[in-house]
Chains A and B, each alone.
Chain A
Amino acid sequence: MKIIPFYKSEKQLIKKSASGNRDAQRCLYEKYAPKMLGVCRRYIKDLQFAEDVMVSGFVKVFKHLETFRHEGSFEGWIRQIMVRESISYLRKNQFVVYDETVMEKIRPQTTINSFDWDTEHIQSLIDSLPDGYRAVFVLYAIEGYKHQEIGEILDITESTSKSQLFKARRILQEQLKQQNSIGYGTE
């Protein structure tokens, strides 16, 4: 079903949606839902559960739309809600971030300058990470949060966030090494 875009600006669309206009809400949903499902999918391996989280995230978006002050990007605001909703889902499902303050001795890392993998392949790599590592890695490397912010979101210390990121990177490097050796027959 195609929605006719009769609202001139996004601001107008947001205002209509905030007043409870279902058509305007649907317009916003159609515009942002695919991107937001992508966001949720980064944290949650199962696409069905990721969609559940996205649905509850959109319900929250429409319920609290009047609190949006049009000061920053609307997409960024929705994305924040989706990220927090995903983390909340992980918490409910016994997601644990071990509070490790002692970082392991940094070993020299293999630097991978470029790759030619499709998005699904990258996603499968990230999915292979344990929940705690994956959340920290995605928040830091993909969403661009700082360790302090990650600590607040996940309710962990800043050093734990750093430690988790370090471990996530090491696992990814191991996997990349294996795939390179299989792919190229080297090492």
Chain B
Amino acid sequence: MGRNKFEKQLKEQLQGREIKPSEGAWERISQQLEESKTPKAKNFKWYGIAAGFIGLIFISGLYLTTRGLSTDNDTQITNVKKDSILSNTTPEIIYEPKIGEERVIVDSKVQEEESIQSRNNQNMDSAKMDGLASSKEEIRKVEKTSVQWNTSEELIDTKIAEVVAQVALLEHENSTVTDAEIDSLLRGAQRQLLEDKIFRNDRSVDAMALLADVEHELDTSFRDQIFDALKDGFLKVRTAVADRNK
């Protein structure tokens, strides 16, 4: 069903047909375009940009704040290797506040392993070390004690000297000094030493020293352990006998 000649002629005549619109037609178009021009879309765009900027500022502020806090506590802890233990020096606890660097904590286990490896490489010192500590735990204990006590040998000496001087002063004043007074002086000196170890100069707490102190307290003696085991066993036997008699 193709287009016939009549339809072709119709097409030619109708396609060239033009009708002049009324005068008000353009005004209506213009009015509708004005109405449809929604300022909301533009506003949303600007709101989006503004929100983006605010978000960026907020995130950067938060980031800088957290970094500022972390730089205050930037701590680099390195444990003393075997050589330093043998040479009877204390493990280094280094506090290096550096801006722009994240906290670096050197894993003590890794350091211990390294120290063991280096120990194996050194023939002379290894014999001595093997005698002192044959396992990691032993090395840790050595480090702990050295952290706890060896760091403050000088302090202890000065404190003892202070206590002796105070006792001498009391003897000079009262001619007799009771054991209770000497005990109280020693206790005060001990407390002072503990505080010196745990608190740093800026009054912040030394985590390692605190841990070492607490762990020392936690260590129970072999005798205590025996007593605890006996106590548990006795309670179990007593409960079993009571249950059987029921």
A interface, CB within 8 angstroms of B:
20, 22, 25-26, 29-30, 33-35, 37-38, 41-42, 47, 50-51, 54-56, 58-59, 62-63, 111-115, 119, 122-123, 126, 140-142, 144, 162, 165-166
Contacts and interface: CB of A to CB of B under 8 A. Distances in A.
A133 to B, nearest CB: 14
B3 A55 contact: no
A100 to B, nearest CB: 15
A155 B25 CA distance: 30
B178 interface: no
Q: Which of A38, A55, A162 has the most CB of B within 10 A?
A: A55
Given A34-B20, A34-B21, A119-B17, A55 B10 contact: no
Contact of B1 (A37, A38, A59, A162): A162
A26 B10 contact: no
B19 A37 contact: yes
Contact of A34 (B5, B7, B19, B28): B19
A34 B22 CA distance: 10
Interface residues of B, dominant DSSP: helix
A144 B2 CA distance: 11
Contacts of B22: 51
Contacts of B9: 114-115
Contacts of B28: 55
5 contacts: A41-B17, A51-B22, A59-B33, A112-B5, A113-B5
Contacts, number: 87
A138 B26 CA distance: 27
Q: Which of A51, A115, A142 has the most CB of B within 10 A?
A: A142
Contacts of A126: 10, 14
A37 B13 contact: no
B18 A38 contact: yes
Nearest to A29: B26
A42 B14 contact: yes
Interface in B23-69: 25-26, 28-30, 32-33, 36-37
B19 to A, nearest CB: 4
B6 interface: yes
B29 A58 contact: yes
B141 interface: no
B29 A111 contact: no
Nearest to A162: B1
Given A22-B30, A59-B32, 14 more contacts: A22-B33, A25-B29, A33-B26, A35-B18, A41-B17, A42-B14, A51-B25, A63-B33, A63-B36, A111-B6, A123-B17, A142-B11, A142-B14, A166-B1
Contacts of A25: 29-30, 33
Given A38-B14, A54-B25, A111 B4 contact: yes
B15 interface: yes
Nearest to B26: A29
Contacts of B20: 33-34, 37
Given A22-B30, A55-B32, A59-B33, A41 B19 contact: yes
A165 B1 contact: yes
A122 B14 contact: yes
B29 to A, nearest CB: 5
B5 A51 contact: no
Nearest to B22: A51
A46 to B, nearest CB: 12
A50 to B, nearest CB: 8
B13 to A, nearest CB: 5
A55 B14 CA distance: 20
B15 A51 contact: no
Contacts of A41: 17, 19
A110 to B, nearest CB: 10
A29 B29 contact: yes
Nearest to B4: A111
Contacts of A162: 1
A142 B22 CA distance: 25
